[in-house]
């Protein structure tokens, strides 16, 4: 295991997990506007990183393949919806739901693997999935309605992950293409908005302007770090460290934003944590067994 890769991954997950603190400062602005500026500034910084790393030409060549282009277009729509939902959850003071979504994502991904990739459940995975389902039902009971933010974020991110696993390409390059594909939508939205309400776009405070620029940096930097980290770490380590993201979100929501956290919330999160412990233990066992077989054949 490379220490630099682990540090890069921990840093990326920490930025993602603590980002609600940043976006709460933009709470007075419509989430759609924040999302549009995030995409545009994210494109700017990603283009810089691609040029700096010499990957710009290879990234542009990806769009020449129609199949890859179509899949990346679908992926960009999924991650766009997902990231807007995340920003909306902060505006709506529902960061706990966002945290819950990224906890249940690995388990939704297992279901998608069964449905679309013909992968089979192990008995341990099935137990983890049933516990996760109970957690979602319990959370719905506590909220008095379906946790739609959790479901939206969890499902869109799982579809996104399914597409990316099918492509099997460099994560930094594909993410950059996805952001580039979202840019026309962002520009069109801001243009239409400027025709209706020019003051919203042209009378932005200096603080908000710099915050918009920082949102692009917060988008690009973790993606670059994540891309650099995955090549030096095994799959199980990446999966476990990724739980830092929802954990930080959860802690921010409960202890800083003071969002309501009732006994039912606690029971729901308790079930999901148990299911993830079971799932992660099984994944690590499988990864260790695979590594042991590879070592024995060398």
pLDDT digits (tens, 9 = 90+) for 90-136: 999 999 999 999 888 878 887 887 888 777 777 887 888 888 889 88
pLDDT band at 293 (very low <50, low <70, confident <90, very high): low
Contact 2/230 with Cβ under 8 angstroms?
Answer: no
Contact 259/95 with Cβ under 8 angstroms?
Answer: yes
Average the pLDDT over 2-31 and give the result: 89
**33, 35, 41, 44: CA torsion to nearest 10:** -130
pLDDT digits (tens, 9 = 90+) for 164-204: 878 878 878 888 999 999 999 999 999 998 888 877 776 78
**160, 163, 165, 168: CA torsion to nearest 10:** -120
Among all chains, which residue has been given the structure tokens 């909220």?
143
Query: What would the DSSP string read from start to end of 153-188?
Result: HHHHHHHHHHHHHHH---HHHHHHHHHHHHHHHHHH
Q: What pLDDT score was predicted for residue 291?
A: 59
Instruction: Give the lowest-confidence range in 34-43, 64-73, 163-172, 240-249.
Output: 163-172
Average the pLDDT over 208-219 and give the result: 92
Contact 28/80 with Cβ under 8 angstroms?
Answer: no
Q: What pLDDT score was predicted for residue 104?
A: 86
Q: What pLDDT score was predicted for residue 124?
A: 82
């Amino acid at each position: 295991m490379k220490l630099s890769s682990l540090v890069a991954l921990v840093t990326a997950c920490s930025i993602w997990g603590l980002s609600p603190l940043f976006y709460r400062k933009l709470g007075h602005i419509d989430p759609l506007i924040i999302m549009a500026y995030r995409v545009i500034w994210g494109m700017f910084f990603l283009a810089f990183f691609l040029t700096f790393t010499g990957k710009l030409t290879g990234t542009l060549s990806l769009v020449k393949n129609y199949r890859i282009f179509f899949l990346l277009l679908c992926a960009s729509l999924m991650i766009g919806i997902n990231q807007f939902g995340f920003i909306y959850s902060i505006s709506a003071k529902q960061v706990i739901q966002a945290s819950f979504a990224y906890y249940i994502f690995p388990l939704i991904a297992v279901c998608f693997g069964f449905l679309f990739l013909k992968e089979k459940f192990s008995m341990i995975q099935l137990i983890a999935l049933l516990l996760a389902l109970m957690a979602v039902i319990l959370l719905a009971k506590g909220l008095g309605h379906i946790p739609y933010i959790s479901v939206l974020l969890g499902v869109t991110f799982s579809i996104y992950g399914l597409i990316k696993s099918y492509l099997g390409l460099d994560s930094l390059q594909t993410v950059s293409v996805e952001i580039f594909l979202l840019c026309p939508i962002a520009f069109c939205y801001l243009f239409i908005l400027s025709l209706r309400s020019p003051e919203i776009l042209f009378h932005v405070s200096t603080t908000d302007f710099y915050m918009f620029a920082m949102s692009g940096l917060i988008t690009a930097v973790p993606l670059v770090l994540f891309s650099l980290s995955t090549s030096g770490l095994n799959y199980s380590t990446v999966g476990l460290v990724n739980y830092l993201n929802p954990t930080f979100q959860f802690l921010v929501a409960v202890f800083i934003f003071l969002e309501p956290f009732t006994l039912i919330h606690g029971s729901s999160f308790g079930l999901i944590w148990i299911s993830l412990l079971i799932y992660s233990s099984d994944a690590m066992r499988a990864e260790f067994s695979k590594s042991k077989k590879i070592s024995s054949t060398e």
